[in-house]
Amino acid sequence: MADRKQMMSDDPETAEPCTCTHRIIRFAKFRDDMPSIHYLNVDGPISPSWLTITHNVLGDRCHRGLVGYTLEYRNDDGSVITWEEFADLDDVIATATKWHGAAESDWHNCDVEETGDSATPWGTTGSGGMP
Protein backbone atom coordinates (compact mmCIF):
# COMPACT_ATOMS: atom_id res chain seq x y z
CA MET A 1 0.00 0.00 0.00
CA ALA A 2 1.31 3.42 -0.82
CA ASP A 3 2.19 5.81 1.98
CA ARG A 4 -0.98 7.76 2.79
CA LYS A 5 0.86 10.67 4.41
CA GLN A 6 0.96 13.27 1.70
CA MET A 7 3.04 16.35 1.02
CA MET A 8 0.71 19.25 0.25
CA SER A 9 1.86 22.74 -0.70
CA ASP A 10 1.83 25.14 -3.60
CA ASP A 11 5.59 25.49 -3.16
CA PRO A 12 7.48 22.15 -3.12
CA GLU A 13 10.35 23.81 -1.24
CA THR A 14 8.11 24.61 1.74
CA ALA A 15 5.94 21.50 1.69
CA GLU A 16 5.26 20.01 5.09
CA PRO A 17 3.96 16.52 5.78
CA CYS A 18 0.22 16.27 6.12
CA THR A 19 -0.78 15.16 9.62
CA CYS A 20 -3.17 12.46 8.43
CA THR A 21 -3.82 9.39 10.56
CA HIS A 22 -5.44 6.12 9.55
CA ARG A 23 -6.26 3.73 12.39
CA ILE A 24 -7.70 0.26 11.85
CA ILE A 25 -10.39 -0.01 14.51
CA ARG A 26 -12.13 -3.28 13.50
CA PHE A 27 -11.48 -6.30 11.33
CA ALA A 28 -13.52 -9.33 10.24
CA LYS A 29 -12.86 -12.47 8.25
CA PHE A 30 -14.55 -12.36 4.84
CA ARG A 31 -16.51 -15.62 5.02
CA ASP A 32 -16.97 -18.00 2.08
CA ASP A 33 -20.75 -17.54 2.27
CA MET A 34 -20.50 -13.76 1.69
CA PRO A 35 -21.38 -12.61 -1.84
CA SER A 36 -18.62 -11.78 -4.31
CA ILE A 37 -17.85 -8.12 -4.83
CA HIS A 38 -17.72 -6.21 -8.11
CA TYR A 39 -15.97 -2.84 -8.31
CA LEU A 40 -15.54 -0.48 -11.23
CA ASN A 41 -11.94 0.29 -10.25
CA VAL A 42 -10.94 -3.40 -10.16
CA ASP A 43 -11.09 -5.87 -13.08
CA GLY A 44 -13.69 -8.51 -12.32
CA PRO A 45 -15.02 -9.66 -8.95
CA ILE A 46 -12.70 -9.50 -5.97
CA SER A 47 -12.27 -12.19 -3.34
CA PRO A 48 -10.99 -10.51 -0.19
CA SER A 49 -9.90 -12.48 2.84
CA TRP A 50 -10.59 -9.69 5.31
CA LEU A 51 -12.71 -6.59 5.88
CA THR A 52 -11.30 -3.74 7.94
CA ILE A 53 -12.80 -0.52 9.20
CA THR A 54 -10.38 2.38 9.33
CA HIS A 55 -10.90 5.66 11.18
CA ASN A 56 -9.28 8.49 9.22
CA VAL A 57 -8.37 11.95 10.42
CA LEU A 58 -7.10 13.98 7.51
CA GLY A 59 -4.96 16.76 8.95
CA ASP A 60 -5.60 20.48 9.03
CA ARG A 61 -2.76 21.28 6.61
CA CYS A 62 -4.08 19.35 3.62
CA HIS A 63 -7.71 18.46 4.35
CA ARG A 64 -8.97 20.96 6.93
CA GLY A 65 -9.44 18.34 9.67
CA LEU A 66 -11.77 16.04 7.73
CA VAL A 67 -12.75 12.91 9.69
CA GLY A 68 -14.23 9.76 8.16
CA TYR A 69 -14.15 5.99 7.89
CA THR A 70 -13.30 3.44 5.23
CA LEU A 71 -14.50 -0.10 4.70
CA GLU A 72 -11.43 -1.81 3.26
CA TYR A 73 -11.21 -5.09 1.40
CA ARG A 74 -7.90 -6.87 2.06
CA ASN A 75 -5.94 -9.85 0.83
CA ASP A 76 -4.77 -12.53 3.25
CA ASP A 77 -1.45 -10.72 3.72
CA GLY A 78 -3.24 -7.53 4.75
CA SER A 79 -2.70 -5.57 1.54
CA VAL A 80 -5.67 -3.41 0.49
CA ILE A 81 -7.55 -4.39 -2.67
CA THR A 82 -10.02 -1.48 -2.64
CA TRP A 83 -12.14 0.53 -0.23
CA GLU A 84 -15.31 2.57 0.26
CA GLU A 85 -15.43 5.85 2.21
CA PHE A 86 -18.10 6.83 4.75
CA ALA A 87 -18.89 9.80 6.97
CA ASP A 88 -19.63 7.80 10.12
CA LEU A 89 -19.05 4.43 11.71
CA ASP A 90 -22.73 3.43 11.79
CA ASP A 91 -22.89 3.79 7.99
CA VAL A 92 -19.85 1.53 7.54
CA ILE A 93 -21.29 -1.19 9.74
CA ALA A 94 -24.76 -0.95 8.15
CA THR A 95 -23.23 -1.18 4.67
CA ALA A 96 -21.05 -4.19 5.56
CA THR A 97 -24.16 -5.89 6.95
CA LYS A 98 -26.32 -5.03 3.92
CA TRP A 99 -23.73 -5.89 1.25
CA HIS A 100 -22.03 -8.88 2.88
CA GLY A 101 -24.09 -10.08 5.81
CA ALA A 102 -21.31 -9.16 8.26
CA ALA A 103 -22.81 -9.69 11.70
CA GLU A 104 -21.76 -7.75 14.78
CA SER A 105 -20.17 -10.95 16.08
CA ASP A 106 -17.90 -11.11 12.98
CA TRP A 107 -16.06 -7.90 13.97
CA HIS A 108 -13.02 -7.78 16.23
CA ASN A 109 -12.02 -4.49 17.84
CA CYS A 110 -8.46 -3.22 17.52
CA ASP A 111 -6.54 0.04 17.45
CA VAL A 112 -3.60 0.02 15.05
CA GLU A 113 -2.25 3.05 13.24
CA GLU A 114 -1.42 2.45 9.60
CA THR A 115 1.96 4.01 9.05
CA GLY A 116 1.89 3.80 5.26
CA ASP A 117 3.48 0.39 4.96
CA SER A 118 0.40 -1.77 5.49
CA ALA A 119 0.69 -2.02 9.27
CA THR A 120 -2.29 -4.07 10.38
CA PRO A 121 -3.69 -5.65 13.57
CA TRP A 122 -2.01 -8.87 12.51
CA GLY A 123 1.41 -7.51 11.55
CA THR A 124 2.89 -5.92 8.45
CA THR A 125 2.17 -6.92 4.85
CA GLY A 126 4.33 -9.87 3.96
CA SER A 127 4.45 -11.11 7.54
CA GLY A 128 2.84 -14.40 6.61
CA GLY A 129 -0.83 -13.55 6.58
CA MET A 130 -3.66 -12.87 8.92
CA PRO A 131 -4.60 -14.72 12.14
DSSP secondary structure string for all residues of 22-65 = EEEEEEEE--TTSPPEE-TTSSSEE--SEEEEEEEEE-HHHHTT
pLDDT in tens, the chain (131 residues): 333 434 344 445 555 555 677 889 999 999 988 887 776 666 777 888 999 999 887 765 555 556 789 999 998 888 888 888 898 899 999 999 998 899 999 999 998 887 655 444 444 443 334 44
| Euclidean distance between CA atoms 129 and 78, whole angstroms | 7
pLDDT at site 50:
92
Q: What is the pLDDT of residue 14?
A: 53
Distance CA(110)–CA(122), nearest Å, equals 10
Contact, 79 vs 73, CB < 8 A? no
In DSSP terms, 54 is beta-bridged to: 24, 70
Q: Give the global pTM.
A: 0.70
Domains of the chain, by residue range, sit at 16-115
d(CA 77, CA 104) in angstroms, rounded, equals 23
Which residues make beta-bridge pairs with 17? 7
Amino acid 10: pLDDT: 47
10 Å CB burial of residue 73 (0-12, 13-18, 19+) is buried
pLDDT at 94: 94
